[in-house]
Structure 1
């Protein structure tokens, strides 16, 4: 009688093993085996184990197509979960088939696993068994996954003002980093203020200014002293050396009261000058989009604390746009839609499912924790941020109407913002290296499974997938520029590159430095307790301390940001795929080539950073997660 050799791998996770009775059915082109229990002497299916079994089977089953794993009760043991990594089967002819699982099998029941070769729906044409399996799997996934609501949560505490900057240092010690100490030392410097819009936690907003907006009446005389005697504002505009940050999206966003004390927010416009030294220097700040007698334009030549206060108001605005829209919306919540569409519209055997699934790990977990532990009503935003929960919801609603596909595709984004020639823009330099590495990898995978553009256009699962993303992430807005269909290999490659880049590198750039740049609270306040100044000449250190967040709000922010900025786990590193969803040799070679490119990028970044007073490491591939895991 013929014998099939079966290997079953149990994941090395806490409680990954099972006490249930495990049986298997082999399904081939010439029939299927009877259900047979997998049982050796002693304990099987323990955490991290690879168990081997021999299955007698009289008929030749032909080429194996799938297996069925049956998980049934054993004695009086309760129902449990089992993390099955993979199953390998060696036939009597010596052929080896791999059936990837990499999932928790909860409770009792039967799970069908396909042979690991990635297959588009067109590849299953003529095999009703495999077509039915695709359909049944997607039906189960679509029934299970539901779009999730946004909820908010946080903390509370003391409401005293800070007595001095030295007092802020006293709570700053508990989790300092080299970057946070640098920030505390240099936060007042204009060059460092500008640096942060290139290489800080929000490097995606600054853009070239070709003409001064009519509602920002900066005159050449105002900034002449900052530009120097041999040039002028008009000359620098023509040279392309003037840049702008515009927080118009904050207009009309309501603010809240914290312990009965009204909090405030402004919608600033800030002008920058790229000087001959390659420094991005702030030139002028206006704290409203409606100019008037009580809306002064603040300048670097003003009194120290007037100018400092204007920069603090700008950093408050930056905190809200960064945290709510760039981080929460564009990374976490759009990322959740990408994952949801992948799970709901692509069967596990689809090559694009296999490509994307490592970049989806933990997002439901971290987003659920955010909703239940940080973001629910009465939580962090209601107790430490000037918008409160209601303002945050309105700001995010505005963000959903303004986010564009181009802003998420790094080459397009840089081009549209006019910043491709800005020097010392390490987010751009490192980001483009990673984007190109991802694009080359994705292009190779797409090219292996799709031989021509028509195969992309005619793949109904891919079209359902991209349409769900267009509908749910971009709200069906044609103005977003996001595709609702994909008709070429190039379009599919770009879309996949965007998803992987935003789930890994872009998220790292806007997340990993949060504690570094906010630990020194005056550099990144989440709220301010006095209204924006209507005149110059009144600010002092004392008035700034009365304006900055109180002790409780500061500590709340630091605790939250210290949690979300923790280092990654080794298994989650970009390009590291411990779960082998691809079983063919060519995709494995492309993965290895991708890892080699990332290693070269990492070495290049580390060599450059040795020469910098403040290293930029947020896009070093060894520090970038595969997915949005925090």
Structure 2
């Protein structure tokens, strides 16, 4: 009872103090923005003190009022500050704290477990996004500082709760932003400086910063979940979970798609012909474009330069010894050139999937490890001229060409695409974007403070990445899951292939489109004129690099700042440390093995590759999955027979026997449609803002402006393309790997 009386007395005193400035004009308005996370709101009493540039403190301010539900999730609590607050001019620092009012023990703990916040403080949670301090500017009277004669009558100050969007509509004036973006523990004081942007050596809160990183290291721990596989997060931190709106939107989309295909399954008998199969799409999820052209050789060539896996194609200047191709093999397929002349004139291209050779797959199924040869004809069109389905020459490994009977050649192309589909899902998509970047996300949280400029630069591109990985691996890439049912390799094969791929992947080659394309011999448009993936990837990567350069060069404007930034060097050290020793295990990260980052260009390259992988790298591999996979004969994730060892004639019934059953086909349609849907905002339109300093804000504005120009360039290019390639249009590319 005594405690209750004390609390009531304190509330009354706070109200009296709040009214004590009656008659004085508002000097500032303080907007306290609670974040949009599960369990972010609080009923606790919040206190703050403003400090001006002379470090003079204000009175203790309390942005709470009795019987008002302040500090709710994704809301703004606004507090007017009167002229006698004790500070003048710009605000440079805010000290904020809260009590633990609202922690109703049992109920709070139960809700904490439900919302996943019990690990934050063990008590009532509050996620504070930022505090904005604005000089009050009356619409009719622009005077900020009043004399006694000028002072107008004023109503009593009141605290109110509003939506975050309302901040955009307040009268314009000087405003100072103090990003917090942290969970605020009870009875602990937090000093937040303007823009909350410091290199570690310049931060006056170094002890706080070290403690915060140590807590992050306990929460973000590595685990190598498969032998030889990538480093992932041990347990999904609560902060990394989907927002409720994103989760339910995702779930509703999936339910709608399942309902549509279930109806199809009830009303459709078995598919006896390709026409039967084609009829399903118009009645359910829509007709994929390749359904019209999947038999064409020209379409097979287009898949290599603007399909879902456009990174395999390489210039061929000499044939590999294990490819059994001669002039006789390619008779009539190279215009008037011999094979040697075509190689010399850089007219031959190759896709060699030797990484698949001998891969252990589900149920010990054999997977092709093909070599496909392409010829750039007189019209600069890329056409397939030979496919060998296994790596070793032999009588049981014939070379297929367009000179074979149409269906024999068609089946060879299907088995090639079946093999490439395994490479695409295991490496280009899952392994080299989702899983590789998961380790980078964990490393960033463990080593870069939320106040570090690079953390703020990278954070928008990590949104929901750990959450989608956790869900995807649990639902799709697990024994009996979608990969097991719909891919020849199955879960067993996909992790074996990821292991192989990680042994080859290098940050300085595969992470940079320009370097990788040069490595493949396909960078020069004079060599391969029509290559939409190359052209748009280079354009977008260049815009990302310009954005990163503007921010990074500002913060590392002297060599000393780079050398003295221990968090930056910790970050690089853990990025390159071997996975079995507790690192991410990336090969080829710029910098010195001992000294770490020595040049600002090395930091720019590293950050650019990470953002590029999380945006354009994933977009190119992900968003046309329905287009490519849904009509199974076009790009079959699974075929029901082993690759042929002899050439034979196929009729339509033979081809239908190769295809999966109705239920598996519908599963492929649903999942690829779901994965192809865009759930978050476009690149540069950040879901959450982290950089509020003038340089960061200006860089983001220029980035968005340049991306709009790049989008126009892609649209113009598409007017002249044989087939539109929109997957690297900045208007389509999201900020992060969130699906």
Q: TM-score, normalised by structure 2?
A: 0.77
- Structure 1 stretch 528-537 or stretch 506-515: which is displaced more? 528-537
Q: Where does residue 43 of structure 1 map in the other structure? A: 69
* Higher RCO by CA contacts (8 Å cutoff, separation 6 or greater): 1
1:486 aligns with 2:592: no
1:87-106 mapped onto 2 (5 Å cutoff): 87-89=131-133, 97-102=176-181, 105=183
Q: Where does residue 416 of structure 1 map in the other structure? A: 519
1:606 aligns with 2:715: yes
Instruction: Please report how far the alpha carbon of residue 482 of structure 1 lies from its aligned counterpart in structure 2 after TM superposition.
Output: 5.8
Decide whether aligned partners of structure 1 residues 111 and 386 sit closer, same or farther in structure 2, where only a CA change above 3 A counts: farther
Instruction: Please report how far the alpha carbon of residue 362 of structure 1 lies from its aligned counterpart in structure 2 after TM superposition.
Output: 0.8
State how far apart, in whole Å, the 2-side matches of 1:307 and 1:254 are.
26
Contact 1:117 1:349 in 2 (8 A): yes
1:19 aligns with 2:60: no
Helix, strand or coil at the partner of 1:314: helix
Contact 1:296 1:534 in 2 (8 A): yes
1:523 aligns with 2:634: yes
Instruction: Please report how far the alpha carbon of residue 389 of structure 1 lies from its aligned counterpart in structure 2 after TM superposition.
Output: 1.4
Instruction: Please report how far the alpha carbon of residue 576 of structure 1 lies from its aligned counterpart in structure 2 after TM superposition.
Output: 1.3
State how far apart, in whole Å, the 1-side matches of 2:628 and 2:99 are.
50
Q: Where does residue 422 of structure 2 map in the other structure? A: 320
Q: Where does residue 617 of structure 1 map in the other structure? A: 726
Q: Where does residue 114 of structure 2 map in the other structure? A: none
Please point out which of 26, 31, 44 is paired with 1:7: 31
- Structure 1 stretch 336-345 or stretch 466-475: which is displaced more? 466-475
Q: Where does residue 198 of structure 2 map in the other structure? A: 119
- Structure 1 stretch 286-295 or stretch 534-543: which is displaced more? 534-543
Helix, strand or coil at the partner of 1:431: helix
Q: Where does residue 237 of structure 2 map in the other structure? A: none
Q: TM-score, normalised by structure 1?
A: 0.89
Which residues of structure 1 form unaligned runs of 5+? none
Instruction: Please report how far the alpha carbon of residue 110 of structure 1 lies from its aligned counterpart in structure 2 after TM superposition.
Output: 4.4
Q: Where does residue 146 of structure 1 map in the other structure? A: 221
CA deviations 1:114-133 (Å, max 9, x no partner) are: 32142112323xx3xx1112
1:424-573 mapped onto 2 (5 Å cutoff): 424-471=530-577, 480=588, 483=591, 485-569=596-680, 572-573=681-682
1:271-286 mapped onto 2 (5 Å cutoff): 271-286=373-388
Q: Where does residue 132 of structure 1 map in the other structure? A: 207
State how far apart, in whole Å, the 1-side matches of 2:328 and 2:181 are.
65
Decide whether aligned partners of structure 1 residues 53 and 477 sit closer, same or farther in structure 2, where only a CA change above 3 A counts: closer
Helix, strand or coil at the partner of 1:487: coil
Instruction: Please report how far the alpha carbon of residue 399 of structure 1 lies from its aligned counterpart in structure 2 after TM superposition.
Output: 1.1
Instruction: Please report how far the alpha carbon of residue 166 of structure 1 lies from its aligned counterpart in structure 2 after TM superposition.
Output: 1.6
Contact 1:404 1:482 in 2 (8 A): no
Q: Which structure has the bigger radius of gyration?
A: 2
Q: Where does residue 370 of structure 1 map in the other structure? A: 472
Decide whether aligned partners of structure 1 residues 112 and 369 sit closer, same or farther in structure 2, where only a CA change above 3 A counts: farther
Contact 1:512 1:565 in 2 (8 A): yes
Contact 1:100 1:113 in 2 (8 A): no
1:352 aligns with 2:378: no
State how far apart, in whole Å, the 2-side matches of 1:520 and 1:609 are.
24
CA deviations 1:56-108 (Å, max 9, x no partner) are: 998769964453342623285746654433112469999854221345x3886
Contact 1:22 1:72 in 2 (8 A): no
State how far apart, in whole Å, the 1-side matches of 2:585 and 2:473 are.
26
Contact 2:575 2:585 in 1 (8 A): no
Contact 2:323 2:393 in 1 (8 A): yes
CA deviations 1:30-54 (Å, max 9, x no partner) are: 5878976431252212344322225
1:593 aligns with 2:593: no
Decide whether aligned partners of structure 1 residues 181 and 97 sit closer, same or farther in structure 2, where only a CA change above 3 A counts: closer
Decide whether aligned partners of structure 1 residues 441 and 58 sit closer, same or farther in structure 2, where only a CA change above 3 A counts: closer
Decide whether aligned partners of structure 1 residues 590 and 240 sit closer, same or farther in structure 2, where only a CA change above 3 A counts: same
- Root-mean-square deviation over aligned CA pairs: 3.2
Q: Where does residue 10 of structure 2 map in the other structure? A: none
Contact 1:288 1:295 in 2 (8 A): yes
State how far apart, in whole Å, the 1-side matches of 2:585 and 2:38 are.
43
